[in-house]
Each structure stands twice: as C-alpha cells, then as structure tokens.
Amino acid sequence: MEPFDHASALEGCARGDVASLRRLYDREAGFLLAVALRIVRRREVAADVLHDAVVDIWERAGTFDRSRGAGRAWITSIVRHRALKHARAVGRETDLDPEAGAQIADEAPDPFVALAALQEGARLHGCLSRLDADRRQVILLAYVDGLSQSEIAERLGTPLGTVKAWVRRSLIALKDCLS
Amino acid sequence: MIPSEPEDRDVLAGEYVLGLLDAEATTEVERMLGADADLARRVAFWEERLLPASAALGPAEVDPEQWARIERDLATRRQALGHTTALPPARPRRSLWGTAWQSPALWRATTALATAAAIVLAILPNRVSGPAESPTRYFAILQSRDAAGQESGPGWLIQIAQNGTVRSLPLADVKPGNGRSLQLWTLWDQARGPVSLGVLPPGGAIRLPPERLEAIGDGQLFEITLEPEAGSPIGRPTGRILFIGRAKGAATQSL
C-alpha cells in the first residue's frame, strides 16, 4: 500500500474538513471493519461499531497529537474500544459456547501466521515467537479477538489466575523485546 | 490506582490496550490519559507495536452505503449543535442529563415522580439537558405491563434526540435477571411488525441511524420486551412486553 499521512488527515478532521475524514475512511474503513468484526463477530454490529467509531474519530480528532503517537494506531484504538465495549455489554459469553468460539477461531485467519507474511509485522512476530505458545495466544486472543481474561481462561482451559500471570509476564517480555 | 513503578505502568497500559481491564479501571486510565503524559506514551507504545496483529487480518468488505449514513449523521449533528463549520466538542460532554443518568439519587427521585409523569416531562427537556445536548424530538412514556397484560402506570421514559440518540430512563424498578436483557422495539409499519432499536445497555444510550430516526412519527408505538442477553435471536420480540407506549413530539417552545 502506498504511504498515507494519517496524522494530516486527522488534523484536517480537527479543522472540520469532511474531505479529510473521507480520505481516511476510504483508506481505512475496510481494515477498521475487519478489526471490529473480529471482536463483535456479527456483521451488522460491526457496521454499527464502524459508524460510531468514525463519528468518534471526527469528534475527537482535536485531541489527537501526532507527537504522542501514530494516527493509524489512534484510530484503530477507537474502533477497538468501541467494539470491546459492545462485546462486554452484551455479555458475549452467553451466545458463544466454547465449541462455537473455537470453531470461529479455526475459521478466522490466525493472526500469528498472518503476521509472518506482513512486512511491518516482522518485529512483533519475532517478539511473539519468543513467548511460549500459550502465552502468545493469550495476548492475541485479547488483542485481536477481544476476549476478556475469563473468556481466555475458558477457551484455553486454564485457571483465571494463571491467565492473569501470563498476561503480565508476556507484557513485560514484549515491552523489553519491542522497545 | 495508577501505579508508579515503570514496569507496573507498562503492564497497566498494556492491559488497557488489550482490553483486559474491568470497566472501572478502564475509566480511570481514560481519565488519566489527558493529564499523565507518561502513561499516554506507554499506551501509545502498545497501540503502535501491537497494531500489525490487527493489520494482518486483511480488510473486510464495507457496505458502499455506509459512508453516506455517516455523512448524514455528521450533518445532523452539526445541525443539532447549531452551527455548520465550527468543531463538534472534542470529547463527549458530560451534560447534566448524562451525569444524572448514572445518579441513583435521580433515579430514585424520578421513580418517586413516576405517577406525576407530566411533571417529569415538563422538567427534563428544559432543565436537565445541557445546552450542548441535541434537542429532544420525541418523548414516549411507556406504561408498565404485568404478566396478565394489565397496565400499571408509567414505567419507562424514552427520549429521542434530534441527532438520533435514544435515552431511556426506568421509572419503575426492573431487573431483567441473569442472562436476560431488555430490548426496545418500535412499530412503524403494521405489516412489517416491530423493529428492534437495540438492547438497552444498563444506564446507557443507544443511537439510531438517521434513516430510522426519520421514520419515527407522532403516536408511534414503542415497547420493551424481555429477551435473551444478546437480544432476540430472531429479529422480533420473543419475550413478553414489559413496557409499552406511544411517542409524542416534544413541544418547541421553552418554558
């Protein structure tokens, strides 16, 4: 993909320039929808999440500060938090029994495998591959699939306390590796 | 509590980005981000470094109509805010109404007023709404309905703003119970049957897309039914009606 200046587009949004939002949308809507869909699992809900997130991006663009972080990460985090809020609010555990969850996970692309093929994913892939498979999965199930710690514990058949300890240790190891 | 040790702060920021904090801790981190530049940097670190894992998913297919809906929503918002070029608020404002929403005191007080629903009607739109709120377009006071289908007084207040935000305020004690939820429906076409406006989030608001808002009119029927936690799986009510009532356009003059 050609480089795209997310920060400038966001600064355009902050000035009230709808064309800037449109450029950002044209560039990222498909990606952002995929992020939401992976977390909320339902197409119509994911479309609502995207809608609300784009409105959020527009309304909060004034708080974006390019010296504090990258624009693409900023908009992605808005979508993720929206999607997570939704996933938590509806208490997804009830409509996804572990078997169905595992099946969805099997059908969806494995982010760890996909990362290897992505140029910008090499660093993260390298650091994740240093973790034990279980601990790596904890991080990816949380980040990519939006599972809560208890959902992860259920999915992996691991006690909640163990999952919490793995999260902590994995984060510390990743911080060290990714810095 | 936001920790002071760098390692703990990294873990907290990481858990926040992963979405593993509970609602309370998430709110606290979000509140601190504006003031605590160090924490904001640690959060940005994780947001950037983990991003490739999302990017690796590949894009999903977006409905070509979606942009038009967003654009209409933005236009409605600008109109509702009363200006065309100035910026919308940088962060969602916590209006009096928004704050009151979560106040048990107001809930109790409002419940006490339930029988005097007319008073509530007169007060809410003008006194409780902050000036930045989108003006109210419709109210509906839904009557409680028991298992035998008997109505037993006002039970739920629905407020629909110009921008499509639907707020709902219980006027009677109601607990859907474990694994159950309350779902809001409206009937704008008898032939089509009730259409879901969404599962009512506890204490929260839902927002209607503009085309749905446009379809609401005076006298339109609203109802709340008891449904499975994620909402009715079949797209029409499956549980019994707990509250029912009709929309009434808000008067335009102020008191």
Greater pLDDT, A5 or B96: A5
- Which residue from B245, B255, B189 is spatially nearest to B219, judged by alpha carbons? B245
Instruction: Note whether A60 contacts B91, CB cutoff 8 Å.
Output: yes
Q: What pLDDT, on a 0 to 100 scale, did the predictor assign at position B122?
A: 38
Q: What pLDDT, on a 0 to 100 scale, did the predictor assign at position B176?
A: 76
Q: What pLDDT, on a 0 to 100 scale, did the predictor assign at position B200?
A: 80
Instruction: Note whether B19 contacts A76, CB cutoff 8 Å.
Output: no
pTM score above 0.80: no
Distances (CA, A) of B158 to A12, A46, B138: 36, 25, 8
Greater pLDDT, B149 or A139: A139
- Tens digits of per-residue pLDDT, A92-113? 544 444 554 544 555 567 888 8
Size of interface A-B (CB pairs under 8 A): 189
Which residues 57-96 on chain B approach chain A with CB closer than 8 angstroms? 57-63, 66-67, 69-71, 73-74, 77, 85-92
Nearest-angstrom CA–CA distance, A80 and A145 = 10
Which residues in chain A are contacts of B67 at CB distance < 8 A?
Answer: 22, 25, 29
Instruction: Note whether A70 contacts B55, CB cutoff 8 Å.
Output: no
Q: What pLDDT, on a 0 to 100 scale, did the predictor assign at position B204?
A: 55
Q: Assign B116 a pLDDT band (cuts: 50, 70, 90).
A: very low
Nearest-angstrom CA–CA distance, B29 and A22 = 30
Q: What pLDDT, on a 0 to 100 scale, did the predictor assign at position B90?
A: 40
**Residue appearing with tokens 């419940």:** B111
Q: What pLDDT, on a 0 to 100 scale, did the predictor assign at position B130?
A: 38
Report the residue of A20, A37, A50, A77 to disrupt the B interface, i.e. the one with the largest count of B CBs within 10 Å: A77
- Token output for A126: 């390298």
In SS3 terms, B13-42 reads as HHHHHHCCCCHHHHHHHHHHHCCCHHHHHH
Helix axis angle for B37-55 and A71-89, nearest 10°, is: 80
Which residues in chain A are contacts of B81 at CB distance < 8 A?
Answer: none
What are φ and ψ of residue B246, in 5° steps?
-115, 150
Beta-carbon contacts of B108 under 8 Å, excluding residues fewer than 6 positions away, are none
Averaged pLDDT of chain A: 88
Instruction: Note whether A55 contacts B201, CB cutoff 8 Å.
Output: no
Report the residue of A6, A31, A44, A79 to disrupt the B interface, i.e. the one with the largest count of B CBs within 10 Å: A31
Averaged pLDDT of chain B: 74
